[in-house]
Structure 1
Amino acid sequence: MLRVGYIGLGLMGKSIARNIMKAGYPLVVYNRSKGSVEELVAEGAEGAMSPADLASKVDVVFTNLPDSPDVFAIVFGENGVASTIREGSIFVDNSTIKPSTAQQIAERLWAEKKVFALDAPVSGGDIGAKNGTLSIMVGGDETALEKVMGILKATGKTITHIGPAGAGQVCKATNQIMVAAQMVAMGEMLVFSKKCGVDPEKVISAVKGGAAQCWTLDVKPQRLFDGNREPGFKASMQSKDLGIVMDTAKEYGVPLPTTAVNAQLFQSMVQTGQGNKDNSAVVGVLESMAGVRIGK
């Protein structure tokens, strides 16, 4: 059985790594803060001293890190994955990063180490990560994907090969365009209802049965009505992802006028100290503008 290493045990990464271990794969883990490492070691994983130490012990290296520079540094920096990863191993990145960075990593790992790299960003939030029901969008070599498919099936329900290196990240960027649009639209409908003197909870119950039905309306409104704005997915990460979208759109000459406005709304959350709240809490920016409050 393939030995698996997982680097980056944050809100999503720890649950993904745990599901890999539950599926029976020998697991080695590394994280800069040690609490999550100790937690998984207590459940049967092996801890690593560095990314290089981890890569020397496994057949497949996964990463799940905040942004493009973080992934590049973990792979090619001092004591990085590339310093010890063996020829024939596979590198899989669950992070959301720039498509161009994913392409650079894949090209360099193959040229220097004869290691295939898959960009495999995920969608589904903390709930999907815990339940192993994530949607995984993969760019890279299809043969390499087949070799790690069993591992991915332990973490996701929908696994789609999108195309060559970087294609998975392009797909994730499109996902974040839609997610941001839904979060902002939901916030607008709730604030609109409240400001017009209509019960937002009844509005949600009504429109969920029609053409407006979507995952966001199924999952997020009740949390907001209960006053819960703690993250499943942090607004700061949504803002970062939209930055990737806009940078990539500029690179390819794609106009994204609505996404540009949504990116500004999430950036406003970060700038006003609300980046650690859930991405659905973008409703707070709209509440401030309208002078109303949704829920408790």
Structure 2
Amino acid sequence: MAVQKVGWIGTGVMGRSMCMHLLQAGYECAVYNRTKSKAQDLLDAGATWCETPAEVASQSEVVFSIVGFPPDVEETMFGPQGVLAGAAAGTVVVDMTTSKPALARQIADKAAKKEVLSLDAPVSGGDLGARKGTLAIMVGGEKTVYEQVRPLFEILGENIAHMGPAGSGQDTKMSNQILIAGTMIGVVESLLYAYRAGLDLDQVIDVIGTGAASCWSINNLGRRIVQGDFAPGFYIKHFVKDMGIALEEAQRMNLSLPGLALVNQFYVAAQAQGLENLGTQGLYRVLAQLNAQE
């Protein structure tokens, strides 16, 4: 039987747009967020408000969550009023938060004991991808469960892939974040160089954004930097969290990632300067200030 009732937990920069796509596709949506006002446009569009994650789960066939940090995931899933406390046997739980692979496996284990199914399905594409429904979605968990939820994923994204057992989605997202970290410092240093050389930065992006240096970050976040727009499509504080997870996993694998470690230091510096609530393109301000002091 096709899914009709969907739960959504976390209506922040990305979650709000993602849930709206499901509402507009005709699904019944029960929602929860720590701050109710951030879900108001969803409620106005027909979503049902719930007071706890458990209440969301009790009303849903598939429950999506996209929250901030691993401790938030743990509270959302395992707390006294968490998803697993309210989910009936056969419910599918899909955590889309970028979190620890080990935590994804823990969710899968605890869910299985209640005959609840689970997937870890972090996304890439930022606020723009969430608004347009063009996210990349990397999924870990049982293939049969993935196929059951895939029609919902296809409303939220364009590039959707089953990567393997529980935790594989999170491992794939770590690979994604490692690449983004290196790319972002390249974008920032490229634009700083062009600025010092007296070039028109939009014109520079027009040219290099179509050649071998073309990437999502230069063509999207680079434009925001030029416009002085540092609003978050993805928060610096969340990116620091992601890099910390990747470095922790790399250490566990006995793997050295010096490039990631360097970029992480620059983003930690951004936090120290009070920039943690800017978007990841806020790295430009850190390096611009560093160069201004030289």
TM over 0.5: yes
Query: Residues 243-265 of structure 1: CA distance to partner in whole angstroms, max 9, x if unpaired?
Result: 11111111111110100001111
The residue correspondences of 1:1-296 to structure 2 (distance < 5 A) are: 1-2=2-3, 3-111=5-113, 113-291=114-292
Equivalent residues of 2:134, 2:158 under 8 A apart: yes
CA displacement at 1:184 relative to structure 2: 0.8
Alignment check: 8 A CA contact 1:195 1:290 kept:
no
TM score, norm. by length of structure 1: 0.95
Instruction: Give the aligned residue type for 2:18.
Output: I
In percent, how many aligned pairs have the same letter? 38
Report if the CA contact (8 A) 2:205-2:219 is conserved.
Answer: no
Separation in structure 1 between the aligned mates of residue 64 and residue 204 of structure 2, nearest angstrom: 43
**CA distance in 1 between partners of 2:284 and 2:57 (Å):** 42
Asked if structure 2 preserves the Cα contact closer than 8 Å seen for 1:8 and 1:64, the reply is yes
The structure-2 alpha-carbon separation of the partners of 1:109 and 1:225, relative to structure 1 and needing over 3 Å to count, comes to same
Q: Which amino acid aligns with 1:172?
A: K
**Which secondary structure does the structure 2 equivalent of 1:253 belong to?**
coil
- In 2, Cα distance between the equivalents of 1:120 and 1:84? 21
Corresponding letter in the other structure for 1:133: T
Kindly state the Cα deviation for residue 197 of structure 1 after the two structures are TM-superposed: 4.1
Mapped partners of 2:185, 2:27: distance in 1: 40
Q: Which runs of 5+ in 2 are unaligned?
A: none
In structure 2, distance between residues paired with 1:58 and 1:208: 43
Please state how far the C-alpha of 1:198 moved relative to its aligned partner. Answer: 4.1
181-190 or 194-203: which moved more?
Answer: 194-203
Distance in 2 (alpha carbons) for counterparts of 1:114 and 1:181:
41
Q: 1:48-83, CA deviations, whole angstroms, 9 ceiling, x for partnerless residues?
A: 111111111111111101011111111111211111
Per the alignment, in what secondary structure is the counterpart of residue 177 of structure 2?
helix
CA RMSD of aligned residues (A): 1.3
TM-score scaled by structure 2?
A: 0.95
Q: Distance in 2 between matches of 1:75 and 1:198?
A: 51
Read off the aligned partner of 2:75 and give its amino acid letter: A
Shift of 1:199: 4.1
1:98: Cα distance to partner? 0.6
Aligned AA (1:40): L
- 3-state secondary structure, aligned to 1:154: helix
The one-letter code of the counterpart of 1:282 is L
Q: Which amino acid aligns with 2:48?
A: E
Contact 2:75 2:82 in 1 (8 A): yes
The answer on whether the counterparts of 1:191 and 1:290 sit within 8 Å (CA) in structure 2 is no
In 2, Cα distance between the equivalents of 1:38 and 1:216? 31
Rate the CA distance shift 1:38–1:201 in 2: closer, same or farther, 3 A: closer
CA distance in 2, matches of 1:208, 1:166: 34
Contact 1:249 1:256 in 2 (8 A): yes
